[in-house]
Chain A
Amino acid sequence: MEINAKIRKFLSRFFKKHEIADTDDIFALGFVNSLFAMQLVMFLEKEFGIAVETKDLDFNNFRTIESMIQFVENKQSA
């Protein structure tokens, strides 16, 4: 499964809006709590074998599906 599909599958467990566009701001959907934030970070780390460091915890990296994909790709190629 490509990165996009994997992230979508993860997000679908949390959001009732079924179709999240690649550029939708998930923070603007009004559902970001501490547990979700932590689960998202841990999901990305585990699923894509990357380490999310403190300096990476910029919400711009996690704001949209598009930005998450880019973040994961940058991390993987680093």
Chain B
Amino acid sequence: MSQAKKKEKKIKCVVWDLDHTLWNGVLLEDRNVQLREGLLEIIKELDNRGILQSIASKNEHNTTMAKLEEFGIAEYFLYPHINWNSKSSSIKNIVTSLNIGMDTIAFVDDQPFEREEVSFELPDVFCWDAADVHAMLDLPEMTPTFITEDSKKRRHMYMSDIERQKVEEEFTGPQEEFLASLEMVLKISKVGSDDLQRAEELTVRTNQLNTTGYTYSYEELDALRQSDQHKLMIVELQDKYGEYGKIGLVLIECGEQDWKIKLLLMSCRVMSRGVGSILMNHILQLAHQHNVRLLAEFVKTDRNRMMYVSYKFAGFKEVEENGDHVLFEADLSRVQPFPDYVKVHVLD
């Protein structure tokens, strides 16, 4: 099994400049600017590939948003930053709002000064000259391995997240009540053949909430889902605002006496939803029923401390440590019930 296959850098969000980049000319000088040729197609294609888009533009906010509405493209941009601040500070805010890695951002601008400012402040951002915009779609960084149902819906899912966040910010009660108000339904099922592309995509895209970072190819996952010695499960979440899509994946190697969790990951969009703990509890219950010892592999990175804490707080203890590699063992005497703020369906 080729587990430690190197992850390819894939862009998750393109941040656009506007004047001389998205449209010809400068909006504040010419109210009748026109979109550059082919730009609309590029925006639509990126959206179709599941690549998010935002804006970092030095402009007057209301006039600019009105123009984007007029072109009928405002909805394509999440968290547009139209202000007079530096582009790097706008990009930092966008990255925080979307909760994705800085190294998954591409920034397109016609001005060398702006690209250099961003490169200097944020060296992980991939900067691209607006003059070469037509070559952008052919870059491997802009080409996801697969385009899944989840990638096509990605922007809409982020838009429902924005709505949820607004409600969450305005909610004054404890977080537990807020979670209950979402009416979440979590579905845990075996990975089917239809899920394979999404499963591979999850292993490649997920960094923060990922216990090992192992990636598996489509073919490997297909073999694993049919293997008697493995359990491969995919997790789906929805709430009253809509679908989050398929957001979690677990791979367990099932031996006679020992089960070992090789991979447990979740999209960072569900970070505060309690999904990781529910999933760990589900595995603990399963292991308890099958009367096996439950182990879990862990590979420490600079980003996944949260998953380490989750394992520890779910009662796992280190039994082996070798540099960044840790082997945990679960304490099966103490299995948490599922929290009552979410309905859990386990489909076997």
Render A1-26 as a binary contact track against B, CB cut-off 8 A, 1 for contact.
Answer: 00000000000111110000000000
Residues of A within 8 A of B336 (CB): 27-28, 30, 32
In whole Å, how far is B252's beta carbon from the nearest beta carbon of chain A?
A: 19
CA distance A38 to B208 in the complex (A): 12
Supposing A14-B176, A16-B174, A57-B308 touch, asked if A34 and B276 sit within 8 A by C-beta, the answer is yes
Taking the nearest CB of chain B, how far is it from the CB of A42, in angstroms?
10
Q: Is the CB of A59 within 8 A of B306?
A: no
Which of B176, B273, B338, B339 neighbours the largest number of chain A CB atoms within 10 Å of its CB? B176
Whole-angstrom distance between the alpha carbons of A57 and B177 in the complex? 27
CB pair A34–B175 under 8 Å, yes or no, is no
Does B294 sit at the interface, judged by CB under 8 A? no
Interface hub of A13, A34, A41, A54 (most chain B Cβ within 10 A): A34
The listed residue with most B CB atoms (<10 A of its CB), out of A35, A54, A58, is A35
- In the complex, the chain B residue whose C-beta lies closest to that of A33 is B274
A35 and B272 contact, CB distance less than 8 A: yes
Q: Which of A24-74 contact B (CB under 8 A)?
A: 27-28, 30-38, 41, 54, 57-59, 62
B72 adjacent to chain A (CB < 8 Å): no
Does the CB pair A31–B308 fall under 8 Å? Answer: no
Find the B residue at minimum CB distance from A18: B174
**CA of A16 to CA of B180, assembled, Å:** 11
A58 and B337: CB pair below 8 A?
Answer: no
Given the complex, which residues of A lie within 8 Å of B299, measured CB to CB?
Answer: none
B176 cross-chain contacts in A, Cβ below 8 A:
14-16, 31
A31 touching B309, Cβ below 8 Å: no
Q: Are B339 and A37 in contact (CB under 8 A)?
A: no
Judged by a CB distance under 8 angstroms, whether B277 is at the interface is yes
Chain B residue nearest to A38 (CB atoms) is B306
B173, B177, B306: which contacts A35 (Cβ < 8 A)? B306
With a cutoff of 8 Å between Cβ atoms, the chain A residues found around residue B302 in the complex are none
Complex CA–CA separation, A72 to B21 (angstroms): 54
Known A13-B174, A14-B176, A15-B176: A33·B275 in contact at CB below 8 Å: yes
Residues in B307-348 with C-beta less than 8 Å from chain A: 307-310, 312-315, 317, 336-341
Interface residues of A (CB under 8 A from B): 12-16, 27-28, 30-38, 41, 54, 57-59, 62
